[in-house]
Structure 1
């Protein structure tokens, strides 16, 4: 009967390849050198493949050994992933919180809130993923996430929507700009100014474009990005002014940028979304409470 490769042989082969010697492999595995040598002989006999060249008292891997090692490494990486997944599952037994959020909340606002939540729930496994709103809504509706923050109409199928009330877009202004002295930026203040845009797909930019057209104001757009964070960095370099979401604005710590209210008000319709028909765990309810308390304009702008 044909012999089969054993896990111990593969482990010994990997150790020899990593350390470049029988002695190094023996120390790594806690075996004697003769035991490792025997494992290598048995492996080569089983595979009917010569893997090492003898050079005096040393061995050197040949090309076949190098090719085989690549595959062995992939299998050990897969085992590592299995171990990490098992660890995450074990932690999830103590409770889990899976969050999907659009970029503004995900990149600055929520990371600032999660330490408080984790202090109260140290055994809860938390996963925070950043997705566009449509993906968040879809994946929450499929129960792949426990809660999300997204643009959402009240009738999206498969989710319960809770609007975060009173949120509005704000204006990011270079600190040395003349408008930085204002407590609020008016639509007329944008006449002739250089603007940065979130693009036509953004509810903020669409609303601002409509206001500019109605007011007959020309304000050239110099650059565009789908991320408010990117626009704030451009503002810091003095490129122009940008109307951005309040979550991103709350995380701006660059002294080269000031954040000002904008008038007329441009509503920002963000909402908490939950899988419809699914009882909410205590972790989900507590997280939602923390978000509700922090997601107000006074809290976000610290006024």
Structure 2
């Protein structure tokens, strides 16, 4: 069985063909002239035809060698590309990351994290897909996405998760009486027009339990799936709401907020498929995103 040419043999032939000299080829490859001669001789024997001939004092490729040189060039370019890509992956400067997130994150906190992350990684690309929590978990279980940002995650054997407890605040329109308070208590919400999250969420149940224990009865006016929607409604004067401080900060110019004086953190879940080995890029991004929450976590 005929042996296959080695990359070093192809490099030697191309270099001699480019420079017309064994000496210059050897210098470009950082090897000795006899080593170049041996590589080409072995390659010629393996291929079954002569590769070089001397004309006007220079070594030039034979007709047969000229026929295969374009293919050799493409092979060497591809090997360089593989080497560069491997280096980029090892040094975490290249790769593709698929992120699923709650809709509010796609337009609020996440873009700033992505911008900072990509600044030092020019060859990394991302796909960001916002959707409801149920769909995000389906994607992660199906290994369609590398990383997910969701809430109210109850656990699943196919998912690895990290929970980050984010401080909550009460948001209210400019000029509201709550502006005179240093913090808003559960009792302060009695009889207030309340914009709340979806009724099937863990966060909604936590607030409902607090209201019941304190005999407080707010007036629910709007159920909004996302905190960003609650912010828009509060800014328009529809009512007040208790939400994550993370979301409230992005609306600081359009509404007011104060710390919510109750044990009701918003639980944010960072999830990934457990049966797939995460890439280094994925782990780096998860770490960067979690660190971006540090100032708001409790």
Q: Which of the five TM-score ranges fits, normalised by the shorter chain? A: 0.5 to 0.7
Q: Structure 1 residue 285: deviation in Å?
A: 1.6
Q: Structure 1 residue 138: deviation in Å?
A: 1.6
CA offsets 1:44-75 (integer angstroms, 9 cap, x no match): xxxxxxxxxxxxxxxxxxxxxxxxxxxxxxxx
8 Å contact kept, 2:166–2:296: no
SS in 2 for 1:269: strand
Counterpart of 2:186?
Answer: 187
Counterpart of 1:247?
Answer: 246
Q: CA separation in 1, counterparts of 2:155 and 2:212?
A: 31
Residue correspondence of structure 1 range 40-51 to structure 2 within 5 A: none
In the alignment, does 2:179 pair up with 1:158?
A: no
- Which residue among 291, 294, 297 is the counterpart of 1:293? 291
Counterpart of 2:210?
Answer: 211
Query: So what's the TM-score if we normalise by structure 2?
Result: 0.64
Q: CA separation in 1, counterparts of 2:270 and 2:219?
A: 35
8 Å contact kept, 2:152–2:203: no
Q: CA separation in 2, counterparts of 1:299 and 1:167?
A: 6
Q: CA separation in 1, counterparts of 2:213 and 2:126?
A: 46
Q: CA separation in 1, counterparts of 2:222 and 2:134?
A: 25
Residue correspondence of structure 1 range 14-53 to structure 2 within 5 A: none
Counterpart of 2:227?
Answer: 228
8 Å contact kept, 2:243–2:266: no
Counterpart of 1:275?
Answer: 273
CA offsets 1:62-97 (integer angstroms, 9 cap, x no match): xxxxxxxxxxxxxxxxxxxxxxxxxxxx9xx94101
8 Å contact kept, 2:195–2:220: yes
Q: CA separation in 2, counterparts of 1:195 and 1:201?
A: 16
Q: CA separation in 2, counterparts of 1:101 and 1:234?
A: 22
Q: CA separation in 2, counterparts of 1:291 and 1:182?
A: 32
Q: Structure 1 residue 262: deviation in Å?
A: 0.8
8 Å contact kept, 1:169–1:265: no
Q: Larger Cα Rg: Structure 1 or Structure 2?
A: 2
Instruction: Name stretches of at least 5 consecutive residues in structure 1 with no aligned partner.
Output: 1-89
SS in 1 for 2:138: helix
CA offsets 1:125-174 (integer angstroms, 9 cap, x no match): 1111112222112211211101111225464121111122x323321111
8 Å contact kept, 2:228–2:247: yes
8 Å contact kept, 1:173–1:235: yes
SS in 2 for 1:270: strand
Query: So what's the TM-score if we normalise by structure 1?
Result: 0.63
Residue correspondence of structure 1 range 136-151 to structure 2 within 5 A: 136-151=136-151
Instruction: Name stretches of at least 5 consecutive residues in structure 2 with no aligned partner.
Output: 1-84
Give the number of equivalent residue pairs. 208
Q: CA separation in 2, counterparts of 1:202 and 1:106?
A: 20
C-alpha spacing 1:268/1:292, structure 2 compared with 1 (3 Å):
same
8 Å contact kept, 1:247–1:300: no
Q: Structure 1 residue 247: deviation in Å?
A: 3.3
Q: CA separation in 2, counterparts of 1:215 and 1:177?
A: 23
Counterpart of 1:173?
Answer: 172
CA offsets 1:235-254 (integer angstroms, 9 cap, x no match): 1122211112333223224x
C-alpha spacing 1:120/1:154, structure 2 compared with 1 (3 Å):
farther
8 Å contact kept, 1:185–1:263: yes
